[in-house]
């Protein structure tokens, strides 16, 4: 599977510090995602009800010090994050990551 032609494309994905994730996009934008924020927005079926779309994951269920243990590319359209709270099933599509960008969301 590949990303749609108009989907945002990262040119670099890594850590901003011990916990947070940084994405540099091909259009020059740079996103820094606080680890807990990104973990709370996991799109997997365990965190979001597949039928209703209602979020199942409560903020109280995620440790304050959660951090990524590993980040892997999934094809050319997403990343998979292994979290320190043992969660390993979320796949974050690039278009979702761009929509979740904290600086972009604050202006919407």
Mean pLDDT, residues 92-105: 92
- In a domain, residue 95? The reply is yes
Q: How does DSSP classify residue 1?
A: -
Per-residue pLDDT reduced to its tens digit, 22-41: 999 999 999 999 999 999 99
CB 45 within 8 A of CB 36: no
- In a domain, residue 3? The reply is no
- In a domain, residue 4? The reply is no
- In a domain, residue 5? The reply is no
- In a domain, residue 2? The reply is no
- In a domain, residue 80? The reply is yes
Q: Quote the CA–CA distance of 23 and 60 in Å, as a whole number.
A: 26
- In a domain, residue 1? The reply is no
Q: Whole domain around residue 75: which residue ranges?
A: 10-105
- In a domain, residue 96? The reply is yes
Per-residue pLDDT reduced to its tens digit, 43-77: 999 999 999 999 999 999 999 999 999 999 999 99
**Residue 73 is part of a domain; what is its CATH number?**
3.30.2020.30
Number of domains in the chain: 1
Residue 41, C-beta contacts closer than 8 angstroms, at least 6 positions apart: 100
């Amino acid at each position: 599977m590949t990303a749609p032609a108009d989907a945002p494309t990262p040119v670099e994905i890594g850590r901003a510090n011990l916990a947070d994730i940084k994405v540099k996009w091909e259009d020059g934008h740079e996103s820094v995602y606080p680890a807990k924020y990104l973990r709370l927005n996991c799109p997997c079926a365990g965190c979001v009800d597949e039928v209703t779309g209602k979020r199942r994951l409560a903020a109280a269920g995620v440790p304050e010090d959660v951090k990524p243990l590993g980040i892997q590319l999934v094809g050319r359209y997403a990343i998979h994050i292994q979290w320190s709270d043992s969660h390993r099933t979320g796949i974050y599509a690039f278009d979702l990551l761009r929509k979740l960008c904290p600086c972009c969301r604050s202006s919407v």
